Structure 1
Amino acid sequence: MKKYTQDKEYMSLVGHLIQNPRFKKLDGIVQHHHSTRLEHSINVSYTSYRIAKKFGWDVPSTARGALLHDLFYYDWRDTKFNKGHAWVHPRIAVRNARKLTKLNKKEEDIILKHMWGATIAPPRYKEGYIVTMVDKYWAIKEATTPLRKRWQKRRIFRRKFLGSHNH
């Protein structure tokens, strides 16, 4: 069972959104080559939630905004506006998120500004910086999954075979 499902506070904030059929549609869409958009959204949300909680910041808005930051249903690599995707998809995500739940200003800003760095406007709220950075972290981690698995196998091989001969 996934760790986030055991966190009662987290699930009380976003569990109903995760269970929503519109959100569940993200499970069939590849995000960063080796993850689905649903997995990515939950990874970003749960990590951001834990950081906001540690800092004593707005935990509900962080968890919800992060969960809904990539709520769009197309493969951006196959669309006519893939060059403008960093600017377009946050607006589509806000529109789709409003169909699931009422958003506060901070949640909207988190969703709209999570591509800061690729776009010009920085987040208005400190919680938006958490989500922006955590989103980049998970994008890299998810995209490099096969590479990390290969490194892990090499590390185990070295420890097992090469390490034993050095003693």
Structure 2
Amino acid sequence: MLDRTQIQCIVEHHGKEIILHEHMRIEQNSYQHGVVTTFAHSIRVACLSVWLADRMHLWNRVDQRALVRSALLHDYFLYDWHEWDNGTHRLHGLTHGQTALLNASRDFQLGSVERDSIARHMFPLTPIPPKYLEGYIVSLADKVSATRETLSPARFTKPRKHSRRPRLQRA
């Protein structure tokens, strides 16, 4: 079984292009759940996705690269949905998967597994389930991470803006 350091190395290896992309600065300054930035959330989802695939012994059925990239890009909507926008983000939970897919398709070369996993990661909130196992893993990792972040006592502290790229954090 993989340890935390090995998981982080896998995420960095397959996700380096994404993690270093200039638009990730937007994610570093946008909050997702409480005091957790969209960037930190995406890193957590990627690490947890790798952890889940490893613990369930799915490496012969899962494309590791597509899994990591899908997880890093699942919330690549590039705005802070908490900020007032005259109601545009009102349906964020239902629409951000498609927005993330459009932005990710513009900035990166995506395969069918990545596209499907990004677009459908909000299942069952959105009605169409993922086609691929990677999409289910990303969806599960997203829900686990979002729940932990939302219920964390740190959520009730004052958010701090990050001026530099945070280190990979525990999944």
Task: Name the structure 1 match of 2:97.
Answer: 90
CA contact (8 A) 2:23 2:78 kept: no
CA contact (8 A) 1:35 1:142 kept: yes
Structure 2: runs of 5+ lacking an equivalent: 157-171
Partner residue in 2 for 1:49? 50
Paired residues for 1:1-167 under 5 Å:
7-53=8-54, 54-56=57-59, 57-77=62-82, 78-79=84-85, 80-146=87-153
Q: Is the 8 A contact 2:33 2:155 kept in 1?
A: no
SS of 1:31 mapped into structure 2: strand
* Residue 68 of structure 1, CA deviation: 0.2
Query: Structure 2 length as normaliser, TM-score?
Result: 0.77
Are residues 110 and 121 of structure 1, via their aligned partners in 2, closer, same or farther at CA, if it must alter by over 3 Å?
same
- Most deviating of 53-62 and 4-13: 4-13
How far does residue 11 in structure 1 lie from its aligned partner after superposition?
1.5
CA distance in 2, matches of 1:65, 1:111: 6
- How far residue 5 of structure 1 moved from its aligned partner, in angstroms, is 8.6
The answer to whether the 8 Å contact 1:90/1:111 transfers is: yes
Q: Which amino acid aligns with 1:24?
A: R
SS of equivalent residue, structure 1 residue 92: helix
| Cα-to-partner distance string for 1:37-58 (whole Å, 9 max, x where unaligned) | 0000110011112322441121
C-alpha RMSD of matched pairs (Å): 2.2
Name the aligned partner's letter for residue 24 of structure 2.
F
- TM-score scaled by length of structure 1: 0.79
Whole-Å Cα distance in 2 between the matches of residues 74 and 147 of structure 1?
22
Structure 1 pair 103–142 and aligned structure 2 pair: CA distance change class (3 A): same
C-alpha separation between the residues in 2 aligned to 1:4 and 1:20? 22
Q: Distance in 2 between matches of 1:87 and 1:113?
A: 10
Q: Residue 164 of structure 1 corresponds to which residue in structure 2?
A: none
Give ranges in structure 1 of 5+ residues lacking alignment.
150-167
More helix by share: 1
1:39-86 per-position Cα deviation (integer Å, ceiling 9, x unaligned): 001100111123224411211111100100001122324342434222
Percent identity, please: 32
| Letter of the structure 2 residue corresponding to residue 63 of structure 1 | V
The answer to which structure, 1 or 2, has the higher relative contact order (CA under 8 A, 6+ apart) is: 2
